[in-house]
Structure 1
Amino acid sequence: MPFARLATATTPTCHIGLGLAAVGRPGYINLGRDQDLGEDRSEDALRTRTHDLLDAAYAQGVRYFDAARSYGRSEQFLADWLKDRPDVDDVVIGSKWGYAYTADWTTDAERHEVKDHSLATYERQRAESVALLGDRLDLYQIHSVTPDSPALTDKELHARLADAAASGLTVGFSTSGPAQAEAIRAALEVTVGGEPLFRTVQSTYNALETSAAPALAEAHDAGLTVIVKEAMANGRLAEPHAPAALRSVVEETLLGCDAVALALVLRQPWAGVVLSGAATVTQLASNLHAPVVDLEPEQLALLATLAEEPGAYWERRGRLPWH
């Protein structure tokens, strides 16, 4: 598995990855994005921004980069960066299929992405991803599996994914929604030829949404690499939106809300890689302080009071505006 190299890495940032959801397209739901990106959302501007972030992340020890077919031009930007830096051969590249980007490079589209977990979509989008990333693509994930996803029961799709795995591609899945734990457990039961199909799981976990933790621990114990997304709750845990309990802990650590929020996730024993969704190099630098945050028991107890009921958390997330 490509993530095996991270298990022996010694840099403090090796378990932080960089996700490109916020910089691969002009519109996204992160709070504060208007200030982060400004008015220039052209393809060239976001390509330059993405490359600056990738350069800064790589220089500071980050070795996992995460894209998706629905993240606008994220795969293209990442592919361009890799092509321009042929000496960068020690990174792990992940992407996702199952959503199509439909906003046509606007911020006010009626629908920004459309979900489809069919075999036909997998075959089309894998060809698109490979056309851009070639053999640099290490991990291919089903995007946002839910308990009712046909990707959990489509035997023909499973066979094609197993073929991809046999050729050297790591096959994983991501989850979203209030029933993440149910989706994770269902995916752990998917086998081909008696062998588990999935080798990674990427799920939302943060101080506000902790419901997937037991299932993620089970996935880790089953041998899957766990990738955590949305550790900043789409900006709800960042300044100036951070809740009072988090601010109280931050005052004691003398670091940023983001570093503390990410540190809380990094300390979970099942967390293999925790994604930064930084949109600026300054944000990234602050995120990368997370490994040095040492949270005391009373601070952890205070942060535990932030957890929300999953349905309420995801309902609020669904109301975040694209901007």
Structure 2
Amino acid sequence: MPFARLASATTATCHIGLGLAAIGRPGYINLGRDEDLGTDRSVDTLRTRTHELLDAAYAQGVRYFDVARSYGRSEEFLADWLNAHPEIDDIVVGSKWGYTYTADWSTTAEQHEVKDHSLATFERQRAESIELLGDRLDLYQIHSVTPDSPALTDKDLHARLAEAAAQGLTIGFSTSGPAQADAIRVALEITVDGERLFRTVQSTYNALETSAAPALAEAHDAGLTVIVKEGMANGRLAEPYAPDALKAVAAETSLGCDAVALALILREPWAGVVLSGAATTVQLASNLHAAVVDLDDDQLTRLAALVEEPQVYWERRGQLPWH
């Protein structure tokens, strides 16, 4: 499996990945985008920014890079960078299918992406991803599975995913919503010809939303690599939006709220890769300090008090505007 590269890596930050959701398209729901990106969000400007981030991430030991068909031009930007660095062969590239980007590079589009977990969408988007990334694509994930997703019951889709796996592609899934744990447990039971279909799971987990933890531990114990997304809760755990308790702990560590928030996730024994969604190289450098944060029992107790009910967390996330 490609994730063996991470298991054998010696960089201190190899278990922190870089996700390109926030910079592969001009509009997203993260807080603080006006300050992070400014007004110039042309294709060329975001392509340059992406390449700068990828350069900085690789130089600082990051070895997992995460994109998706719905992240605007993220696959294209990553492919351009990979083509410019043919000597780089020790990274893992993951993408996702199941959402189609529909905003046409606008921040004010009525609809930014459309979800469809059908076999036809898999076939179309896999071809699109392969056209851009070729054999550099290691991991292909179903994007944002929920318990009612047809991807969990579509046997024809499962068979095609298994064929792709037999051809060397690692197959995974991501989850979203207040019932992430239910979706994970259903997905763990899916087999094709007696073999477990999925080898990775990517889920939202952070200081505010911890409900998927038991199911993620089960997935880890079953042999799946766990990837954690939205560790910063779409900016709610970063300055200046972070809760006072997180700000206090960060001050005690002399590091940023972001580093503490990500360090909290890295402590989990089941967390294989924790994604940084940095939009600037300064944010990335601060995120990577998570690898050296050491939290004591009192600090962990105070941070544990930040947890919200899943329904409350996801309702608030759903109210965040695209900007």
Q: Distance in 2 between matches of 1:210 and 1:85?
A: 38
Q: Distance in 1 between matches of 2:311 and 2:193?
A: 36
2:256 is matched with which residue? 256
On the 8 A contact 2:190/2:196 being kept in 1, the answer is: yes
Q: Deviations over 1:194-227 (max 9, x none)?
A: 1100000000000000000000000000000000
Query: What is the identity, as a one-letter code, of the residue corresponding to 2:321?
Result: P
1:64 is matched with which residue? 64
Q: Distance in 2 between matches of 1:287 and 1:247?
A: 15
Q: Distance in 1 between matches of 2:61 and 2:123?
A: 33
Q: Distance in 2 between matches of 1:89 and 1:40?
A: 33
Gaps of 5+ in 2: none
Q: Distance in 2 between matches of 1:50 and 1:38?
A: 15
Query: What is the identity, as a one-letter code, of the residue corresponding to 1:205?
Result: Y
Return the offset for 1:136: 0.3
Q: Distance in 2 between matches of 1:174 and 1:26?
A: 23
Return the offset for 1:179: 0.2
1:196 is matched with which residue? 196
Return the offset for 1:64: 0.3
2:20 is matched with which residue? 20
1:271 is matched with which residue? 271
1:162 aligned onto 2:151? no
Q: Distance in 1 between matches of 2:218 and 2:253?
A: 31
Map residues 6-17 of structure 1 onto 2, 5 A cutoff: 6-17=6-17
1:233 is matched with which residue? 233
1:217 is matched with which residue? 217
Return the offset for 1:62: 0.2
2:88 is matched with which residue? 88
- State the secondary structure of the residue aligned to 1:289: helix
1:134 is matched with which residue? 134
Return the offset for 1:298: 0.7
2:50 is matched with which residue? 50
Q: Deviations over 1:215-258 (max 9, x none)?
A: 00000000000000000000000000000110111111000000
Query: What is the identity, as a one-letter code, of the residue corresponding to 1:152?
Result: L
Query: What is the identity, as a one-letter code, of the residue corresponding to 1:113?
Result: E
TM-score scaled by length of structure 1: 1.00
Q: Distance in 1 between matches of 2:206 and 2:227?
A: 12
Q: Distance in 1 between matches of 2:251 and 2:37?
A: 28
TM-score scaled by length of structure 2: 1.00
Return the offset for 1:5: 1.5
- State the secondary structure of the residue aligned to 1:142: strand
- State the secondary structure of the residue aligned to 1:58: helix
The alignment-based identity, stated in percent, is 83
How many residues align? The count is 323
Q: Distance in 2 between matches of 1:247 and 1:11?
A: 28
Q: Distance in 2 between matches of 1:251 and 1:61?
A: 26
Which runs of at least 4 in structure 1 moved beyond 4 Å after TM superposition?
none
1:286 aligned onto 2:286? yes
Q: Distance in 1 between matches of 2:6 and 2:85?
A: 21
Q: Distance in 2 between matches of 1:251 and 1:58?
A: 28
1:145 is matched with which residue? 145
Q: Deviations over 1:43-65 (max 9, x none)?
A: 00000000000000000000000
Gaps of 5+ in 1: none
Provide the aligned C-alpha RMSD in A: 0.4
Return the offset for 1:117: 0.1
2:74 is matched with which residue? 74
On the 8 A contact 2:5/2:91 being kept in 1, the answer is: no
1:186 is matched with which residue? 186
Return the offset for 1:9: 1.5
